[in-house]
């Protein structure tokens, strides 16, 4: 299958991450060998289907393919649903054909990736749908599962969200402790601007109240994160900024209040739960062996 990453992820970096994460997952699962799969004859052919057990947004096809192809490049996968499409309960997602041994060995790793990434894509799509028609966009955070940063950020874009900085290297985010260490918002921003020019990265500053917001705006901040602001405070910040800075709401955001937050006029809404509070999508794989 083909896929196009968005956000700050390059296709080359994503492909390398897929190959590496799948290699680690298979090694973790197989160890010295799959002794259960050895019960079957080496050349035993089989057909399998992956089936959804609930509604979801499908995400993770490249990882599934890598799981099987790293074990046996001859395994054929016929997807019945495209990456990013909504799936229904008891829908067949793909048909897999090949030797039974490597198909059984790769089953759990393939499903683990597909269930987890579909969970992130599904959650993101719920938030994106909830704010449809507003100017705001859903963004992710760095609150990702260790070792699966690019995978989850890819899943966010599949679900209709957008990526923040990928890591600590491609963006500056000045938070409370940075401000305290620098001595003031003005000093932190001044130092950040110097570093940003050298590293060629954007600068964002987090503020916790309208007083800090005033100070950041006066110091020339162009991207401001409004942490745990009330609805009225968000509206006030939007009015005060008057287009001079991109405003992002964060903290305490749920499906129940996200639309109200979007309607305040903020540009971005960042949500950590779409990558850290995962409820794996229920999927299963069913085999048919051939005589």
Q: Which of 107, 140, 227, 248 is catalytic?
A: 227
Q: Which of 108, 137, 142, 276 is catalytic?
A: 108
132 catalytic? Reply is no
Chain center to CA of 262: 20
Q: How far is 284 from 277, CA to CA, in rounded Å?
A: 22
> Could you tell me the two tokens for 194?
């110097």
Q: Which of 65, 83, 140, 206 is catalytic?
A: 206
Under 8 Å between Cβ of 286 and 136: no
227 catalytic? Reply is yes
Output phi, psi for 76, to 5 deg.
-105, 135
Q: Which of 80, 175, 259, 276 is catalytic?
A: 175
Q: How far is 289 from 46, CA to CA, in rounded Å?
A: 4
Give strand pairing partners of 270: 139, 250
Q: Which of 71, 86, 57 is nearest to 22 (CA)?
A: 71
Q: Which of 131, 45, 26 is nearest to 96 (CA)?
A: 45
Under 8 Å between Cβ of 3 and 85: no
Under 8 Å between Cβ of 52 and 119: no
Under 8 Å between Cβ of 138 and 11: no
206 catalytic? Reply is yes
Q: Which of 15, 80, 97, 143 is catalytic?
A: 143
Give the largest CA-CA distance in the chain. Answer: 75
Do the bridges between strand 92-99 and strand 45-52 make them parallel or antiparallel, or are there none, so unpaired? antiparallel
* Residues with active-site annotation: 108, 143, 175, 206, 227
């Amino acid at each position: 299958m083909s896929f196009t990453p968005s956000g700050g992820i390059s296709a080359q970096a994503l492909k390398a991450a897929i190959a590496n994460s799948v290699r680690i997952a298979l090694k973790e699962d197989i160890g010295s060998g799959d002794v259960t799969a050895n019960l079957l004859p080496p050349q035993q052919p089989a057909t399998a289907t992956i089936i959804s057990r609930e509604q979801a947004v499908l995400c993770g096809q490249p990882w599934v393919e890598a799981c099987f192809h790293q074990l046996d490049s001859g395994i054929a996968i016929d997807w019945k649903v495209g990456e990013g499409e909504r799936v229904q309960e008891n829908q067949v997602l793909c048909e897999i054909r090949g030797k039974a041994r490597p198909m059984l060995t790769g089953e759990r790793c393939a499903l683990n990736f597909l269930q987890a990434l579909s969970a992130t894509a599904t959650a993101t799509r719920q938030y994106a749908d909830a704010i449809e028609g507003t100017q705001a966009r859903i963004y992710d955070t760095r609150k990702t599962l260790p070792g699966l940063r690019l995978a989850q950020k890819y899943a966010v874009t599949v679900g209709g969200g957008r990526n923040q900085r990928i890591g600590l290297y491609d963006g500056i985010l000045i938070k409370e402790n940075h401000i305290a260490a620098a001595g003031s918002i003005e000093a932190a921003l001044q130092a950040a601007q110097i570093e940003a020019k050298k590293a060629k990265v954007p600068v964002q500053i987090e503020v916790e109240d309208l007083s800090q917001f005033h100070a950041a705006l006066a110091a020339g901040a162009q991207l401001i994160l409004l942490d745990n602001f009330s609805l009225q405070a968000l509206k006030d910040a939007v009015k005060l900024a008057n287009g001079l800075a991109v405003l992002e709401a964060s903290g305490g955001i749920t499906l129940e209040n996200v639309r109200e937050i979007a309607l305040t006029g903020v540009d971005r809404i960042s949500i950590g739960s779409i990558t850290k509070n995962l409820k794996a999508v229920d999927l299963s794989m069913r085999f048919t062996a051939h005589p």
